Amino acid sequence: MRLGILGSGSGSNMQALLDAIDDGSLDAEIALVLSDKPDAYILERAAKAGLPTGVIDCRGFKTKFPEEAQAETAAALKAAGVELVCLAGFMRLVKAPLLEVFPDRILNIHPSLLPAFPGLEAWKQALDAGASEAGCTVHLVDGGMDSGPILLQAKVPVLPGDSAESLHQRIQVEEHRIYPEAVRRLAENL
């Protein structure tokens, strides 16, 4: 399975996928890594691993993912032979035409037990709400915000004295465990 990765940050989830490929637990290869931020560490991490990279031109928009940029992203992924797109901390809403080019083939990892706490900084939302547990969810991407069909989840208890940072770190441990597993399961069924 040829994977395309879209990320905006450090790329720790991309690294988890790469580690699973390297240790043989995920039969896949990363064909292309794209970021909407030219200085995102995910691009440096990917380049160090010898992976092809590129920058998505979002036409100066801070959060919007313009249709033209989505069409260019879809074309670049197709040209690289990508079969499954994995969002790894990609902070823009994916819509058409990207969804049309990769129907039911775009995954996201989100740091909450969806449908609870969609959107930004879900671990802080969980703390602010007084939740007793948090976690992470791998889901298929649809046109909404963190609203697609759920594939896999992992729970993390909220501990007394947790800070947003400590909770987020524990959630990331589970993200790195379940994302490769969800990709493997989906790839087996495609």
Catalogue the active-site residues: 110
Which amino acid is located at 6 in the chain? L
Query: DSSP states of 120-154 as a string?
Result: TTHHHHHHHTT-SEEEEEEEE--SSSS-SPEEEEE
- The DSSP letter of residue 40 is -
DSSP 159: P
In this structure, are residues 98 and 75 in contact, taking their beta carbons and an 8 Å threshold?
no
Task: Give backbone dihedrals phi and psi of 122, rounded to 5 degrees, phi first.
Answer: -60, -30
Tokens linked to 115: 């449908």
